[in-house]
Amino acid sequence: MTFTARADVPTGTPARYAKQLLSHLGHRVAWATDGDTSTAELAGGTGRIVIGDGVLTLVAKAPDADALARVQHVLGSHLERFSSRTEQLTVTWVSNAGSTPTPLAPDGHRRPEHH
């Protein structure tokens, strides 16, 4: 079984936020981009960033609920942090379990050291 969650985040500048996310997360993970969609293996699952018209869509897929929460946390928390100075975007994930905010960092989570 694959666990999946999606967040459609309305913004006037989806391409800008996608570029920020890809640049920031690209220091740790290789992203494959095809048109307006970028995909990478991260946090035990797969993350996808899709640029739409007035919306940035985040998709998280994983083999289990814990890995899904990690992927959601990585994508959602970074987007929310990048937008905090301008738009204050809120990422709300929708899955078969309903709507949820971006999960908190897992126990024992530490931010990677930046070089």
Q: What is the pLDDT of residues 42-98, one digit of tens each?
A: 999 999 999 999 999 999 999 999 999 999 999 999 999 988 777 889 999 998 766
Tokens of 50: 């899709």
Amino acid identity at 100? T
Candidates 3.40.50.10320, 3.30.310.50, 3.90.1480.20, 3.30.1330.60; correct CATH number of 3-101?
3.30.310.50
DSSP for 21-40 reads HHHHHTTTS--EEETTEEEE
CA distance 72 to 4: 10
pLDDT value for 36: 97
CA distance 114 to 27: 9
pTM: 0.85
